[in-house]
Structure 1
Amino acid sequence: MPTTPVPPSVAERERPRPLLRDLAFLRLWTGATASGLATWALPFVLGLAVLDRTLTAAALGLLLAARTVGFLAAVPLGGVLADRHSRRGVVLWAGLAAAASSPLLAAGLDGSLLLMTIAAALAGAGQGACRPAYQALTAEVVDPDRRQGANAALTLATRVTTLVAPSLTALLALLVDTWALLLGIGVLWLAAALVPGPGTRGTAGDEPEAGAAGPGRTTLVGEFAEGIREARRHPWFIAGLLSLTAVIATGYSATGVALPLVSRDTDNGGLVLAGALTAYTAGALAGALLMARWRPRSPGRTALAGLAAYGFAPLALLLPVHPAVVMAAYAVAGIGIELFNVPWFTSVQREVAPDKLARVSSLDFLLSYGLAPAGLALFAPAVDALGLRTVLAVCALTCFVAPAAAALVAGTRHFRRGTAAALGGATRGRASV
């Protein structure tokens, strides 16, 4: 006797589709992963060109500086354009610009440093314009209840890339030359540009949302200033961004400069250096997996505590400890940085006005990543003037104190403007990943 199928309940019908079965998110994730891999690969491949004497060390420094300048110039521009027009359109054109830089870099290997410098700046510009556009596009593609899982999946892909990509690239370098590797980076940027689908605001050429652009705001500077005003409406964002900038400018500088110096002066220094960096990436992987499922009661304080955990890295370099302790400290720092990143991105996507999200995100990237080179540039002169131990102590103290000070600002407990709204709207369940 045939049975009558039971219709799904309302809860079942309204249950969100798991992210890994959501084609729109998978396309976004694939594009973002390709852009992250391309971003990471360029300095590595150029470094390989130094090893085979195609480039000089001075030329490598010039190219990386040009890429940084391109990035810093394009981040605010990308944020304005992504709020004024389609986020998908900005991702497309930024990715295509970065893709075009790869054959130019390859062509310049024959001896045109000027061409390579222009191409490196173009690559940085494409990368910089992509970042805020991808951040805003994520908020369009993924519904609010699943955004923390989506952000965890995106950062997880970044960490896997940094863990496995060096060995894969080195293996490819045994089979093909630098010219071919640079063209391969261009293919990755093409994927980043073409694979993601449109968000809720449609395609390039659609009318912008109310408030995105208008007769009273015709300049790019004016529209970016509007994004700054939106950021200032959220005290928790300003406090968190300042603490993040302080930690990156000091903690990351300690990793970039002090870790090789300390490793050099110890037995098996290469093992210490490689072990610490691998432990950091492994810790970040664990942190991203944790945040894919865990919904802390006080996400802001949890995030800031995770950010403060980076202070253990310079502290371990400062103290006379076993190399295993240094590696453990870097693993803790890696876990902590993802305890911060995932709730931070999710909160920005939730709290900031949708038509200003890309501009606020661009301010985030501009300060946090933009000041990192300044920290690296100042670290060595500070060591010469004050000594390595003093500078490491200042770095560790800054990493601990800056997030603690940010936690005292209103709204940072939940990364929300209002405590009542935070208590009423906090998510308690598990996201479908």
Structure 2
Amino acid sequence: MNMENTQTEENWFRNIVLFLSSQTVSLFGSALVQYAIMWYITLETKSGLMMTLFIICGFIPTFFLSPVAGVWADRYNRKVLIIVADALIAISTLVLAIVFLMGYDAIWLLFVMAAIRAVGAGIQTPAVGAILPQIVPKDKLTKVNGANGSIQAVIMFVAPMASAALLTMATIEVIFFIDVITAAIAIFTLLTFLKIPSHEKAANTQTTSYFSDFKQGISYINQHAFLKKFFIFFAIFFVLMAPAAFLTPLQVTRSFGEDVWRLTAIEIAFSVGMMVGGAVIASWGGFKNKVHTMTFASLIMGVCTFGLGAIPNFWIYLVFMAIFGISMPLFNTPTMTLIQERVEENYLGRIFGVFGMISTSMMPIGMLIFGPMADLVKIEWLLLGTGGFILLLSMFLVRTNELVEAGKPVVTETSS
């Protein structure tokens, strides 16, 4: 076991470069298709109802699958699960491309594709979160998570523009085939070049049922006070984030004008901010206590949410949006790292599965609350209110002893 750990630490940089490279290629192809389908539905139907159905198809499967996928991520080889998820999405995308080329291009097929892609994401997300501590030494997790967040921000910045450009030059089927190719490259890279041994639970014969494993994961959360309070914080936090995440484009059109460039500008400002934030946290690493970094970032998000509701000038509004983007990696990176460091390896998949359920459900629940309210009161008032509550919630983080204790640096073993 010690020899394996030493070998892993010696090769960790090569392994993480291979892993993140494969995931970057795959994610870029997926993002191209996601935007292409969204715009295709928008242009073909011009229907808000159809867009709502597309969004629902894209998150409900992930929500229901997350707890099961978390169990899988602990019972089976995580690299294999990532490959299976990529293959599922690639094969279904290939079939859809062929069906579209044959002339059968019904909109409902795109809803089915959104659901299948959500299933793949539901399988992949807990597996990716849980596999990183198998590749990366604990003292390097913050920098790696920060770099990964920055890469994802770059993809989310480039993909919409690339997808739009491709749609003007080629058909949607061409974009489907690009996604198939990028998935094939990612799968080939993982299969051929990346050797990751199974973690302990996956390597042993399974003696319990899926439901029993899931119950053990819930019991693990109940036995660790910091996890219970951690998840309660996030459930409330994601609900409060809904107006800033979903209603700002509507706010811009109502308060500043319906020019398309304004909507593009807020997306660019946020994306550039996320890229900068990813680079900052990857190089800085955050405060010694990860909960202090999370508190600092959530305070910034609270101030920015409040500011987005108070600022009457569009250019200053863009500055606040960019700062908001910077704060996201400062918040997400220590969050991921804290879970990866503090949760036992054999439970990581299940804990990330529960975290996935919370993250995919709470924002839509927030929209069910704040969406209708946005037709009754000004969005600015919703942003002022939720911004204030986020600031108060930040105090909960830094004043919760169990969370502050969990955020302290992990003492790594030194080799003799």
TM-score, L = length of structure 2? 0.86
CA distance in 2, matches of 1:233, 1:294: 33
* 1:121-270 mapped onto 2 (5 Å cutoff): 121-196=115-190, 197-201=194-198, 208-209=202-203, 214-215=206-207, 217-218=208-209, 220-267=210-257, 269-270=259-260
**Offset at residue 60 of structure 1 (A):** 4.0
Distance 1:55 1:103 in 2: 26
CA distance in 1, matches of 2:351, 2:300: 25
Judge which range, 98-107 or 349-358, deviates more.
98-107
- Partner of 1:82 in structure 2? 73
Paired residue secondary structure (1:200): coil
Query: Where does residue 382 of structure 1 map in the other structure?
Result: 373
- Structure 2 SS opposite 1:363: helix
Output one character per residue of 1:281-339: Cα deviation in whole Å (capped at 9) or x when no partner: 22221221121122412221111220232223332232143222211212222222211
Q: Structure 1 residues 102-111 or 282-291, which shifts more?
A: 102-111
For residue 34 of structure 1, report the CA deviation from its aligned partner: 3.1
CA distance in 2, matches of 1:258, 1:190: 37
How far is 1:386 from its partner?
A: 4.5
- Alignment check: 8 A CA contact 1:301 1:414 kept: no
The residue type equivalent to 1:425 in the other structure is V
Distance 1:92 1:182 in 2: 18
Per-residue CA shift, 1:6-51, capped at 9, x if unaligned? xxxxxxx99x6697xx331122102222343344333311123135
**1:75 touches 1:365 (CA, 8 Å); kept in 2?**
yes
Q: 1:25 aligns with which of 10, 13, 16?
A: 16
What whole-Å deviation, never above 9, does each CA across 1:223-280 have from its counterpart, x for those lacking one? 1222222233443333333333333333243332233323433157544433332222
Letter aligned with residue 242 of structure 1: I
Aligned-partner Cα distance in 1 for 2:317–2:11: 38
User: Which structure carries more relative contact order (alpha carbon 8 Å, separation 6+)?
Assistant: 2
Secondary structure of the structure 2 residue equivalent to 1:53:
helix
2:303 counterpart residue number: 312
Residue 3 of structure 2: aligned partner:
none
1:99 Cα deviation (Å)? 1.4
Q: Write out per-residue CA displacement over residues 345-402 of structure 1, whole angstroms, 9 at most, x where no aligned residue.
A: 1111111010010110111121023222222233221223454343222221222222
Q: Which runs of 4+ in 1 moved over 6 A?
A: 16-19
Aligned residues: 401
2:403 aligned counterpart, secondary structure: coil
Counterpart position of 1:366: 357
- Where structure 1 has 5 or more consecutive residues not aligned to the other structure, the ranges are 1-12, 417-421, 428-433
Distance between the aligned counterparts of 2:228 and 2:201, measured in 1?
30
> Which secondary structure does the structure 1 equivalent of 2:150 belong to?
helix
| Aligned 8 A contact 2:301 2:390 in 1 | yes
2:415 matches 1:425:
no
Q: 2:264 aligns with which of 268, 274, 277?
A: 274
Distance 1:207-1:319 versus aligned 2 partners, 3 A rule = closer
Q: CA deviation at 1:126?
A: 0.3
The Cα of 1:342 is off from its aligned counterpart by 1.2
Q: Which has a greater percent of helix?
A: 2
Q: CA deviation at 1:113?
A: 4.2
Residue 273 of structure 2 corresponds to 283
- Identity of matched residues, %: 17
Q: Residue type matched to 1:315 in 2?
A: F
Give the Cα separation in 1 of the matches to 2:381 and 2:363: 20
Given that 2:139 and 2:412 are in contact with CA atoms closer than 8 Å, whether structure 1 keeps it comes out as: no
- 1:116 to partner: Cα distance: 3.5
Q: What residue identity is the alignment partner of 2:163?
A: T
8 A Cα contact 1:264 1:270, kept in partner: no
Cα pair 1:101 1:122 within 8 Å, conserved = yes
| Alpha carbons of structure 1 residues 301 and 392: separation in structure 2 relative to 1, 3 Å | same
Q: Which moved more, 1:71-80 or 1:247-256?
A: 247-256
- What is the match of residue 335 of structure 1? 326
Q: Of residues 400, 408, 411 in structure 2, which corresponds to 1:409?
A: 400
Amino acid in structure 2 at the alignment position of 1:135? G
Structure 1 equivalent of residue 385 of structure 2: 394
C-alpha displacement at 1:86, in angstroms? 0.5
Partner SS, residue 321 of structure 1: coil
Shift of 1:200: 3.0
- Contact 1:235–1:409 (CA under 8 A) maintained in structure 2: no
Compute the TM-score of the two structures, normalised by the length of structure 1.
0.83
Gaps of 5+ in 2: 1-5
Distance 1:249 1:36, change over 3 A: farther
Contact 1:50 1:57 in 2 (8 A): no
C-alpha distance 369-193 of structure 1, shift in aligned 2 (>3 A): farther
SS at match of 1:195: helix
Query: 1:320/1:363 Cα in 2 relative to 1: closer, same or farther (>3 Å)?
Result: same
Q: Could you tell me which residue of structure 2 aligns to residue 300 of structure 1?
A: 291
Moved more, 241-250 or 290-299: 241-250
